[in-house]
Amino acid sequence: MKRLRIDSLIFIIVIVIAGIINLVNPNKPSISVAENRKLQEKPVFSITSYFNKSYANNYSLYYSDTFILRDSLIQSRRYINKYFGLKKDKKIEINQPTDSPLPTSSPISSPVELQTEIPPSPTESIFPTPSQICVPEPEYRKAHTVEVLNTPFFLINDYVVASIWAQAESLKKYAQFINELQISMGENVGIYSMIVPTSMEYFDLADLQYITGSQKKMVEDIAEYTNDSVNDVDAYNALFSHCNEYIYYRSDHHWTHLGAYYAYCALMESMGKKENIISLDKYVEKEVIEGYIGSAYRKTNQDDRVLNNPDILTAYYPITEYKYVMHKKTGPVEKRLNDLSYITPDNQYYNMFMSGGNGIYHEFTTDNENGKTLLVICDSYGASFVHFLLPHYEKVYIMDTRYYDKEYINNMTIDEFAKSITADEIATLLYMDSVAYTFNTDVLYSLLK
């Protein structure tokens, strides 16, 4: 009994010390790399927030979000689950008709190899042909096997995907953000809303609807909530028409550069600039990097099935001369759009796009003298999207919501910033996770306040 009391006392002391260190820690993180999201900011005290309990609730979220070594503790929990067998994998085999059409590209070494499809090799052209650009009746990818990894991750045909269940409140909060942004900017500034589904949406899961929500419905709901002056970009069908191509990485939640290109085509069409779309075959210079293991490897307890099935990262170089300045808290610094210094064993290769993208905002000046300025409000999907925008604008600004800091730009809200750069058009580019949950859309909406 005495031993038990000593152990309990030691445990209490450790918790108290950790709590005190967390309270006085001056270097609190602003984003979670493991969860790919912006963390809760420290709330500002007011009498109103105190009595309506929002201050206490937000401070509790801030305290837990910025707890010391939080990402390390989360990863340690994953290791424990993996090595001590606290969770077991579950495989669901899906029978498909023997005459199912073969997809044009697919992952290798699936758990049950009913069909084999291989992603484009470094020497194989993945330039879209005219027939690819106009597919009349697209079909979802066939899901041959679905394996449960750790919540919320699944392995579908060697693609690591995460289930998404949108909160209606969150979708409405995003729509409220884009509506108020449009009202503030006025009718002379074009506002374009582009929500990108994750790769899970394009698998045929008609018999497994209980494992994830319908992202198609989420996109449709957002379009219902936005006002008529907001242009809803149909990224959903632009990607659906090519979903059997290599438009998403297997080991990462991001799209490939090819996927970003198809979304660029959708944006240009929504802007009424279809005739100005630049064919992908004009992007002759590119990097092709094999052996890419994405963020899903870390998020799935370093599963060997992910490690042994690496991706190929193809990065196109811009065809327009440009100057790229990343504005950081320490000041502006000139960077590269494709930064090969990030291609190291201890780094996520996707970070090569926009030199990691961890600036307050990013400023691109091109040799186009058309006086046009575009602001893109985005998450990490924007880092591999900007390449295709540069030929059409003199200035392109990228604002990643995870790193936005009002103090750096004289406490301007996002609409005030847009007016300060005289933006002609504003586009949001957010993948579904960034709008499905209120912890993300609350942060997004706060950019206006």
Q: What is the DSSP string of 279-343?
A: PGGG---EEEEEEE--THHHHTTS-HHHHTS-EEEEEEPPSS-EEEEEEETTEEEE--SB-GGG-
Element (H, E) at 159: strand 159-162
222 and 324 co-located in one domain: yes
Q: What is the DSSP letter of 91?
A: E
How big is the CA angle at 381 (ends 376 and 385), to the nearest 5 degrees?
A: 60
Helix (H, G, I), strand (E, B) or coil at 2: helix
Radius of gyration of the chain (CA): 23
Does residue 176 lie in a domain region?
Answer: yes
Could you tell me the sign of the dihedral formed by the alpha carbons of 208, 209, 210, 216, in that order? Answer: positive
pLDDT at position 374, please? Answer: 98
48 and 164 co-located in one domain: no
272 and 412 co-located in one domain: yes
Distance CA 171, CA 164 (A): 13
Q: What is the DSSP letter of 277?
A: P
Q: How many helices (H) and strands (E) does the chain have?
A: 14, 16
pLDDT at position 39, please? Answer: 64
- Residue 113 φ then ψ, to 5°: -85, 75
Of 273, 209, 208, 197, whose CA–CA distance to 236 is shortest?
197
Q: Which two tokens stand for residue 101?
A: 């059409």
pLDDT at position 27, please? Answer: 66
178 and 67 co-located in one domain: no
Q: Which residues of 128-153 are buried (b: 16+ CB within 10 A; e: fewer)?
A: beeeeeeeeeeeebbbbbbbbbbeeb
Residue 219 carries which side chain, given as an amino acid letter? V
Please report, for residues 9, 50, 134, the alpha-carbon distance to residue 21 in angstroms, rounded to integers and kept in the order given: 18, 25, 58
Q: Residue 152, preceding bond cis, omega within 30 degrees?
A: yes
pTM comes to 0.75
Which residues have a Cβ under 8 Å from the Cβ of 43 and sit 6 or more positions away? Answer: 49, 54, 55, 58, 59, 62
pLDDT at position 240, please? Answer: 97
**206: number of Cβ within 10 Å:** 9
Domain that holds residue 43: 23-83
Does residue 368 lie in a domain region?
Answer: yes
29 and 172 co-located in one domain: no
Last residue of a domain, one of 31, 57, 83: 83
Looking at the 3D structure of the chain, how many domains does it have?
2
**333: number of Cβ within 10 Å:** 12
267 and 375 co-located in one domain: yes
Q: Which residues of 221-260 are buried (b: 16+ CB within 10 A; e: fewer)?
A: bbeebbeeebbbbbbbebbbbbbbbbbbbbbbbbbbbbbb
Q: Which two tokens stand for residue 287?
A: 């990097």
Does residue 247 lie in a domain region?
Answer: yes
- Residue 12 φ then ψ, to 5°: -65, -40
Residue 125 carries which side chain, given as an amino acid letter? S
Q: How many residues does the chain have?
A: 449
Residues (pLDDT < 70) of the chain are 1-5, 7, 11, 23-24, 26-41, 48-54, 57-58, 61, 64-65, 67-136
pLDDT at position 417, please? Answer: 97
Last residue of a domain, one of 33, 56, 83: 83
Does residue 92 lie in a domain region?
Answer: no
pLDDT at position 86, please? Answer: 44
Of 165, 142, 31, whose CA–CA distance to 96 is shortest?
142
Does residue 106 lie in a domain region?
Answer: no
Does residue 319 lie in a domain region?
Answer: yes
pLDDT at position 53, please? Answer: 61
71 and 219 co-located in one domain: no
**191: number of Cβ within 10 Å:** 24
28 and 176 co-located in one domain: no
Q: Which two tokens stand for residue 38?
A: 């912006």
Does residue 152 lie in a domain region?
Answer: no
Kindly give the pairing relationship between strand 190-196 and strand 425-431: parallel
Q: Which residue has the tokens 């809803």?
A: 232
CB 194 within 8 A of CB 434: no
77 and 188 co-located in one domain: no
Distance CA 255, CA 314 (A): 11
**406: number of Cβ within 10 Å:** 16
Ramachandran area for residue 114 (φ above 0: left; ψ -120 to 50: alpha; else beta): alpha
Of the CA atoms within 13 Å of residue 25, those in its CB half-sphere come to 18
Does residue 253 lie in a domain region?
Answer: yes
Residue 64 carries which side chain, given as an amino acid letter? S
Last residue of a domain, one of 65, 83, 101: 83
